[in-house]
Chain A
């Protein structure tokens, strides 16, 4: 992500320091992770020490300080999905991809995260890949779904 785009996002929020989280969210959603250079630009422009920005960027779950894979897998671990067998879905996905929650594989193909309730409990257990939901999952269906991604 180039500096110009980062500056544009900051300008959109009038360089307001209280908009820090909103600015980080926008960069995260466009770039899918927060490069150090971007954080430095924000620090300069908003006059917020870099360590405070790091504090925010590591506190909230939405932010990532490392690059993400091409496909983001979210396994819902909400209570409704949990009682319907979400842990077994997670395990099947871990076995298939070879990565644990919070990790990205070496080919930058998949990133795996657990989330706490996607709010479509009727479809539980739910897995979400790149924003698309796959409902009523079973461990045996995991491979079928993941095969289609490259």
Chain B
């Protein structure tokens, strides 16, 4: 591929690409994101290739291994174009039928399409499935259309058209002005206005500046950035180059977690391709602007996602935060002005340049413009990645898109913002999701994790879980965070173990106040949020644990017991065989009894007891009923009576 030297050459090349791809050629798109890979999409793709060969169709059908389609719950996902037929949970054994029926005879295989769980209606096309229908996928939408390893695919859908526009038709000041006008706010959590950050760096007199992509997505239960970087790395790269131009930086870094091997691979490949095509390097598209990008892999430290810590990590040192009296935009990487933005923020930039700030601002609310992607996970029916305009009510995201709670259980809370965020109860379901509304409710936007919890989730345990996570991830540099969190964790653990005392809640509140006032970085300052929100909305659960030694969600192990209802037990022996502790007494026709001394409360019996019996009970805050006397345990069945 010869280097592209001007915008005209780029358009010429794009035309050529589009003319080569016949629009009616059948294309099979297979989601190859991490989620679908884990459920077997690699095997499906391999079988598909073999099968096309076998049925004499190789060369007539294109196979495209795309990025994440978002509907991870139903993976592996296969979409057949040009019709756009969507197949879910495809297994290798389904492949021969897909080729012979759908590809050859254009016949739809009903068992593989989406069935609406309520109406039972079969839905063939992505655009009609409720999960997709209610979203606005400005960023994530392209994932399903392209092979992330192919720069030509990105060019074919109009990629790298914002780059020449910015570099050739606009001055850096105009680019900056456009981004400022769009009111784009940082998608990494803080929500700081992107344009203002850029401007601060641009105005700084130092001639050497840096721009950085933060892809150290550490929040547990959040994987939007990974999917974007894996599925459409060029969109992030294009945004970064434009940002470099606006700020006056000639060097960029992409800091990506090593836990995301596919993202690392795809982004490295994207950089190589962009260099080859001339979108990176010297005199990009004849504009005179030079820009290079390096990838830095993070080695596993949550705190390194904090801007100043991330910059020290790129320098090859331990990624600990420093006080930011002077912003990193003025004094960051190697002491130079450095603009650090999150993956999603960068990916928004080409959209804004292409379509203009007004277009962008039509989405969202007064204070938060554009769309936001979330990973909708936990006890939800449609686990997956969603992208919605800012301001969409929580209940629409959870029920319309997410399809409600798994197993018909009751919604209890939704946790947003990762370990720095908070838990919101059902009375706040009408809340429109944007930066300011979430902060007002005591939570935060964060990077976009949205973890749904049902009635079986203990809120005290959730608070304990996040504090434990953060205690582990605290770098230990400042005392309030290091010691304060350790004490909070100890008290919370005691409460979940039934050792809570009067006054614990007040002590936790006191510690929380010190942490949020006196910690060095955002990790410590926001660490009490999960505790404070669960206390604010679920105080009764804390009190039940402390005063009654009862876990209302029947989740805290030390506070619950399992017991078999003798009225319901049919002596089927499934639980006694499966019990790893050998704690279930009882043989054939003998009502089973759990030996409470031996029981490890692993819950296996509860899980394996056939739903038609439902004999195993979980109880909390009450004594375990006495086992029935041995002589009363024999079950006399009707049939055996007859026979006997």
* Chain A residues close to B by CB (< 8 Å): 17-22, 24-25, 52, 55-56, 59-63, 77-80, 82-85, 88, 91-92, 95, 115-124, 126, 133, 135, 138-140, 143
Contact of A123 among B38, B313, B316 (CB under 8 A): B38
**Docked-complex contact B259 and A115, CB < 8 angstroms:** yes
**Pick from B221, B298, B465, B603: contact of A121, CB under 8 Å:** B221
The residues in B between 291 and 346 inclusive whose CB is less than 8 angstroms from any CB of A are 296-302, 313-319
Measured CB to CB, the nearest residue on chain B to A133 is: B38
A139 to B348, CA, bound (A): 43
Chain A to chain B contacts (Cβ below 8 Å), 11 pairs: A21-B297, A62-B258, A77-B220, A77-B469, A78-B220, A88-B603, A121-B221, A122-B35, A123-B39, A133-B38, A140-B578
Q: Is B260 an interface residue (CB 8 A)?
A: yes
Q: Please indicate the chain A residues that have their CB under 8 angstroms from the CB of B72 in the complex.
A: 120-123
Contacting A79 at CB < 8 Å: which of B221, B259, B297, B384?
A: B221
| A92–B581 CA distance with the chains assembled, in angstroms | 11
B378 CB–A CB distance under 8 Å: yes
A78 to B608 CA separation, bound complex (whole angstroms):
25
Mark contacts of B456-485 with chain A using CB atoms, 8 A cut-off: 1 yes-contact digit, 0 otherwise.
Answer: 010000100110010000010000000000
**In this assembly, does B377 line the interface, its C-beta being within 8 Å of a C-beta of chain A?**
yes
Across the interface, name the chain B residue whose C-beta is closest to A116.
B220
Q: B223–A79 contact, CB under 8 A? A: no
A91 CB to nearest chain B CB (Å): 7
Shortest beta-carbon distance from A43 to chain B in Å:
13
B218 lies within 8 A of chain A by Cβ: yes
> Do residues B469 and A124 form an inter-chain contact, with CB atoms below 8 A?
no
* B299 contacts A62, C-beta separation under 8 Å: yes
Q: Is B375 an interface residue (CB 8 A)?
A: yes
Kindly list chain A residues whose C-beta atoms are within 8 Å of the C-beta of B635: none
Known A19-B316, A140-B604, A140-B607; contact A117-B296, beta-carbon cutoff 8 A: no
- B383 and A92: CB pair below 8 A? no
Contact yes or no, A83 B457, CB < 8 A:
yes
Pair A92/B316 contact, Cβ less than 8 Å: no
Asked if B143 lies at the interface with its beta carbon under 8 angstroms from chain A, I say: no
Complex partner residue of B379 from A84, A91, A118, CB under 8 angstroms: A84
Our pick among B314, B318, B375, B602 for the contact of A59 (Cβ within 8 Å) is B318
Residues from chain A with Cβ under 8 Å of B296 in the complex: 21-22
**B300 adjacent to A21 (CB under 8 Å):** no
Interface size class of B (residues with CB under 8 A): 35 or more
User: Closest residue of chain A to B578, judged by CB?
Assistant: A140
Interface residues of B in 385-425 (CB under 8 A from A): 415, 418
Instruction: Assess whether B82 is interfacial by the CB under 8 Å rule.
Output: no
How far is the CB of B119 from the nearest CB of chain A, in Å? Answer: 23
Which of A20, A79, A138 touches B607 (beta carbons < 8 Å)?
Answer: A138
Contacts of B608 in A (CB 8 A): 140
Q: Residue on B with the closest CB to A80?
A: B377
The interface of chain B, by Cβ under 8 A from chain A, is 34-35, 38-39, 72-73, 75, 218-223, 226, 258-260, 296-302, 313-319, 375, 377-379, 383-384, 415, 418, 449, 451, 453, 457, 462, 465-466, 469, 475, 578, 580, 600, 602-604, 607-608
Chain B positions within 8 Å of A133 at CB level: 38
Interchain nearest-CB distance for A96 vs B (Å): 9
Q: Which residues of chain B have C-beta atoms less than 8 A from A52's C-beta? A: 317
Query: Is the CB–CB distance between B314 and A61 below 8 Å?
Result: no
Chain B residue, CB-CB nearest to A82: B465
C-alpha spacing A62/B580, complex, angstroms: 33
Chain B residues lying within 8 Å of A118, measured Cβ to Cβ, are: 34, 38, 259
The answer for the CA separation of A85 and B34 in the assembled complex, in Å, is 21
Given contact pairs A83-B453, A95-B580, A123 touches B300 in the complex (Cβ within 8 A)? no
Nearest to A119 among chain B residues (CB) is B223
CB closest chain-A residue, reference B383: A122
Residues of chain A lying within 8 A (CB to CB) of residue B259? 115, 118
Shortest Cβ-Cβ A-B pairs, 10 listed: A61-B300, A60-B299, A78-B220, A119-B223, A121-B377, A80-B377, A122-B72, A79-B221, A133-B38, A122-B383
Establish whether residues B375 and A116, one from each chain, have CB atoms under 8 Å apart when the complex forms.
no
B105 to chain A, nearest CB (A): 32
Are B38 and A56 in contact, CB atoms less than 8 angstroms apart?
no
Contact partners of A143 in chain B: CB under 8 A: 580
With a cutoff of 8 Å between Cβ atoms, the chain A residues found around residue B75 in the complex are 122
A124: B residues at CB distance < 8 A: 377, 383
Docked CA distance A19–B218 (Å): 22
Chain A: minimal CB distance from B156 (Å) = 28
Residues of A close to B302: CB separation below 8 A: 116
A88: chain B residues within 8 A (beta carbon): 602-603
With A62-B258, A122-B35, A139-B602: A80-B221 Cβ-Cβ less than 8 Å: yes
Q: Is the CB of A126 within 8 A of B38?
A: yes
The answer on a CB contact under 8 Å between A117 and B222 is yes
Q: Nearest-CB distance from A23 to chain B (Å)?
A: 9
Q: How far is the CA of A56 from the CA of B314 in the complex (A)?
A: 12
Question: A90: shortest Cβ distance to chain B, in Å?
Answer: 11
B299 near A24 with CB under 8 A, answer yes
Since A21-B313, A79-B418, A123-B38 are in contact, a sample of 4 more A-B pairs with Cβ atoms closer than 8 Å, ordered by chain A residue number, is A79-B415, A83-B379, A121-B72, A122-B35
On whether A119 and B260 interact (CB within 8 A), knowing A22-B296, A59-B301, A62-B299, the answer reads yes
**Least CB separation from A77: chain B residue:** B220
The minimal Cβ–Cβ distance linking B261 to chain A, given in whole angstroms, is 8
Q: Which residues of B contact A79 (CB under 8 A)?
A: 220-221, 377-378, 415, 418, 449, 451, 465-466
Give chain A nearest CB distance to B277 CB in angstroms.
Answer: 25
The distance in angstroms between the C-alpha atoms of A35 and B314, with both chains bound, is 23
Given A78, A84, A120, which contacts B35 in the complex, CB threshold below 8 Å?
A120
Chain B residues within 8 Å of A139, by CB = 580, 602-604, 607
Note all chain B residues with C-beta closer than 8 A to A59: 301, 318-319, 475
**What A residues does B319 contact at CB under 8 A?**
59-60
What chain A residues lie within 8 Å of B418 (beta carbons)?
Answer: 79
Q: Among B73, B221, B384, B580, find the residue whose CB has the most chain A CB atoms closer than 10 A.
A: B221
B297: nearest chain-A partner, CB-CB: A25
- Alpha-carbon gap, A103 to B526, bound state (A): 31
